Structure 1
């Protein structure tokens, strides 16, 4: 399980679209119904809808969590970040909800098998986690108030108490405008990959940590894509002042696509939206 929901775990070819699309819709409905019956969305309130299931925190190595249906227990890695624990808990609740829906489970087994089946199940449980922690009412409120912006992304992460990456994929999926969202931060570049250059002699540079486009937007910014020092994203992070202006998307290939760039700096990272002027092409850059 990862704390990166929905899109990142739903590559093209993950399964027959006519099957996966209604499966996601069913999973969202199950999760939304579950969330509406909870007394709150804090850690222990999240468990209130699962009768007889206990929650245990323990060291789990590289694993974030697990659901043991036989012993009715959810295990969460005690050594990961709190927001990751929280998303993991919602994800494992998704496993419990899925196992309780015989029709959905039967459809999945009829159409997928092996590793593909496991991948689809993980995708659906991430869909459930997003629906529980980031209800559509919340994203609709933020988009109405701030538009498809870096500020909306930052607010979703804060109010839902989830990682910026989790918020990014969920907000992108629910945005109708042609927008690419990104989380950018200073990171160590890889000399062997040819990323280090004379502009960054210390081996550190502002790069894309995660990115996702709204439905219909086929371009994406690959993780590790460098942000030029004079780009609005870099300027906003350096000055700690939000910026919104016409600029461009700095693709790794060197291509610059015109876009309205909205940047909301937050601590050591920048929440960004790139609003495209036209529909994007089919291939990634």
Structure 2
């Protein structure tokens, strides 16, 4: 999927919304782009009517990621071997989930270049700051940056984008999107609450970057030791977090 996305992006004149539609596959099929209110849905790809729909009420960065995601659906449908492998291996909800995961991988592959990823990892390592840097420099959503960083980084690291959920005084900081490197078995799931005393919560409240020995706040209550990095995005609405599980990272080595 990433190879399909990279090949598609390499032939584009640029990576703005208009240019993303200039790929050979979409032009050959005369696929058009339309914006319209779509309620809670971010977008959709309709291959029969040759149209990509994007929620006109979404944030611009979310629209751009959604467009790349829907283009990835078109790329996947154009690859008979990949599509056949998916249907041979999965079925039902698991198949749909895997398709969505692959299209997220494709979207990040279109929007975040290998060169940018290499530069960010060399400067910041697999960290919350690296996640924030990808969001800023590639002008992508936190989800897109997280998917790309999770796939590209080495070691045992969990990543998360956290933001308040609920209303009024009941609002609690929770994981909005989570992911991890290939060596991690248990990522943080969306909806996982962040304890009040946790560094992620403290960084959100203070707006200060934090790097400290702490733990992964799994929903089950298990506290796995980790070196925790938290980077507020400056808007006061979310923080980026990384949890390095390598013992050397939190033992002071």
Partners of 1:139 and 1:159 in 2: CA distance = 10
CA contact (8 A) 1:178 1:278 kept: no
Distance 1:86 1:178, change over 3 A: same
- Which residue is 2:33 aligned to? 55
Q: Tell me the residue number matched to 2:178.
A: 211
Distance of aligned partners of 1:250 and 1:53 in 2 relative to their CA distance in 1, 3 Å threshold: closer
* TM-score, normalising length: structure 1: 0.74
Aligned counterpart for 2:82 among listed residues 98, 104, 107: 104
Cα distance change on mapping 1:126 and 1:218 into 2, 3 Å:
same
TM-score relative to the length of structure 2: 0.83
RMSD (Å), alpha carbons: 2.6
1:121 CA drift (Å): 3.3
Aligned residues: 242
Answer yes or no: is the 8 Å Cα contact 1:64–1:77 preserved in 2.
yes
Aligned pairs for 1:18-57 (under 5 A) are 27-49=1-23, 50-51=26-27, 52-57=30-35
**Structure 2 residue aligned with 1:136:** 114
Moved more, 228-237 or 28-37: 228-237
Which gives a bigger RCO, structure 1 or 2 (Cα 8 Å, sep 6+)? 1
Task: Decide whether aligned partners of structure 1 residues 250 and 99 sit closer, same or farther in structure 2, where only a CA change above 3 A counts.
Answer: closer
The alignment status of 1:274 with 2:243, answered yes or no, reads: yes
Query: 1:258–1:277: 8 Å Cα contact kept in structure 2?
Result: no
Q: Give, in whole Å, the separation in 2 of the partners of 1:152 and 1:186.
A: 22
From the CA coordinates, give the structure whose radius of gyration is larger: 1
What secondary structure is seen at the aligned counterpart in 2 of 1:202? helix
Counterpart in the other structure of 2:132: 154
Deviation at 1:112, TM superposition (A): 4.7
Whether the aligned pair in 1 keeps the contact of 2:155 and 2:246 (CA below 8 Å) is no
- 1:113-262 correspondence runs (5 A): 115-188=93-166, 202-262=169-229
**Quick check: 2:107–2:144 contact (8 Å CA) kept in 1?**
no
Give CA deviations for 1:155-212 in whole Å, capped at 9, x if unaligned: 11222322213322321222212111122223338xxxxxxxxxxx932333333322
Unpaired runs of at least 5, structure 2: 249-253
Name stretches of at least 5 consecutive residues in structure 1 with no aligned partner.
Answer: 1-26, 190-200, 280-285
